[in-house]
Amino acid sequence: DAKTTQPTSMDCAEGRAANLPCNHSTISGNEYVYWYRQIHSQGPQYIIHGLKNNETNEMASLIITEDRKSSTLILPHATLRDTAVYYCIVRVYYTGTASKLTFGTGTRLQVTL
């Protein structure tokens, strides 16, 4: 499985952009990068995913380096409700389209006033 490395924790001031880095240097050419977050006591929540191009949705932006060995999740205007553990995950395939996610330890983002 492609392994990801994330900082253990980060702080961000409310209203500022939160930039969460992730290293996935062993990623294969067809493996997608997924980001989920887990707010305290809740189930993980999907945020965004990408293969090689930058992606944006209503929650966040995902910047993937050209060599695909790292990526950054950007929350453009962090709020207190964005305080959570953020997981960067490389999708693992079995055969065909069957796949799974292997969650690591993630980055604990604390948004402060």
**Cβ proximity to other proteins, 14 vs 104, nearer residue:** 104
Binding region for other proteins (CB under 8 A) out of 1-9, 31-39, 52-60, 64-72: 31-39
Q: Which of 49, 59, 74, 110 binds other proteins (CB under 8 A)?
A: 49
80 three-state secondary structure: helix
Phi-psi region at 58: left, alpha or beta (left = phi > 0; alpha = psi -120 to 50): alpha
CA count, 13 A, side-chain hemisphere, 42: 14
Instruction: Give the C-alpha distances (Å, rounded to integers) separating 113 from 9, 20, 81, 106, 108.
Output: 17, 19, 11, 23, 17
Our finding on whether 7 is near other proteins (CB under 8 A) is no
Q: Which of 29, 42, 67, 81 binds other proteins (CB under 8 A)?
A: 42
Our finding on whether 34 is near other proteins (CB under 8 A) is yes
Q: Please, what is the minimum distance in Å from the beta carbon of residue 63 to other proteins? A: 19
**Cβ proximity to other proteins, 21 vs 44, nearer residue:** 44
112 — phi, psi (to 5°)?
A: -120, 160
Could you list the residues that contact other proteins (CB under 8 A)? 32, 34, 38, 41-46, 49, 87, 91, 94, 97-105
